[in-house]
Structure formats: C-alpha cells, structure tokens
Amino acid sequence: MVIRKGKKEDMPAALELIKELAVFENEPDAVVVTVDELERDGFGPNPLFKTFVAEKDNEIIGMALFYYRYSTWKGKTIHLEDLIVKEAHRGTGAGSALYKEVIKFGKQEGVRRVEWAVLNWNQHAIDFYERSGATVFQDWLTVQMDEEGITKFTLNL
C-alpha cells in the first residue's frame, strides 16, 4: 500500500469513496457533489481542499480530504473533512496511515490544530482517535445550514 497526494485523475475514485461513506453514515442519498466539482474545487487555480489517497495494486482504497481553516484563538488550522477506507479494506491499516499522513502534514505546515467531526455512534472511530491522543469534545455541537435553509434565510433579509 502506498499513501500519496491525491491527483485530479483520482477524483472519480474519490467520489465513489464519498458515496460509500454516505451509505455507512446512513445518508445514501445525501451526496450531490460531482466529479467535475471535485476536480474544479480541488485542482483549479485556487484549490479548496487537499487529499491523500491510499493505493494498493493500482486501486484507490482510501482517501483523506482536508482543508485549511482559521481559528481566532489558534490561527492556522486544518479541518479533516473525511477519512474514508473501502469496506473491503478496513482493518488493513489504510485508515491509520491516511490519518498519520494528515497529522504529519499539519505538523509540517505549522498548524496549531487539526480538527474533525465524528458521529457519536461510531465508537470504533472515537476509540481510535482517543488512543491517538485526540480529544473528543462532548460540549460542542455541530451547527449547519443546508442549501434550502440558506435560501429561506436570505429571502427574509
């Protein structure tokens, strides 16, 4: 298995991983992003994200997608949006290798924090993160406004 930076040509496989993650998270119909959007947004003139992929026998079996954020308390940080490994390859060390690569990248970039979200029912992942030294906060709630909410909100401005 090889861990490497993702390339534009990897985005069709990346989208398949994203769809597999959506199924795992019980949201099989939630993915609306396209390969074209991933290629444009990750590899255009102003890339919005970076990726590492896990590749085995010329097949992409996992991916970590992350991007920079800015904390008013900490400065430059990284947000790990998704860490995905194909179901058939879970338990092979691919997820751990991708995780290590993102944390190592953050260290090299001088970020003061790497952060991500984990579903409260994904105890296997929670245990892994805590064993690695990460803190899983119980007092912060994730807040989102979806596209429909944005539209409704802006209509009332």
Name which of 9-13, 56-60, 126-130, 138-142 the model is least confident about. 138-142
Q: Where is pLDDT greater, at 99 or 142?
A: 99
Please write the tens of the pLDDT for every residue from 47-95: 999 999 999 999 999 999 999 999 999 999 999 999 999 999 999 999 9
CA dist 143 and 117 (Å) reads 11
Instruction: Establish whether 129 is a catalytic residue.
Output: yes
pTM for the full predicted model: 0.94
Q: Which of 67, 68, 70, 129 is catalytic?
A: 129
> In the structure, what pLDDT confidence band is assigned to residue 157 with cuts at 50, 70 and 90?
confident
| Average of per-residue pLDDT across 86-114 | 97
Considering the chain, what percentage of its residues have pLDDT values greater than 70?
Answer: 100
Residue 156's pLDDT is: 86
CB 144 within 8 A of CB 81: no
CB 35 within 8 A of CB 69: no
| Average of per-residue pLDDT across 107-133 | 96
Long-range contacts of 32-41 (CB under 8 A, 24+ apart): 35/11, 38/11, 38/14, 39/8, 39/11
Residue 107's pLDDT is: 98
Residue 148's pLDDT is: 94
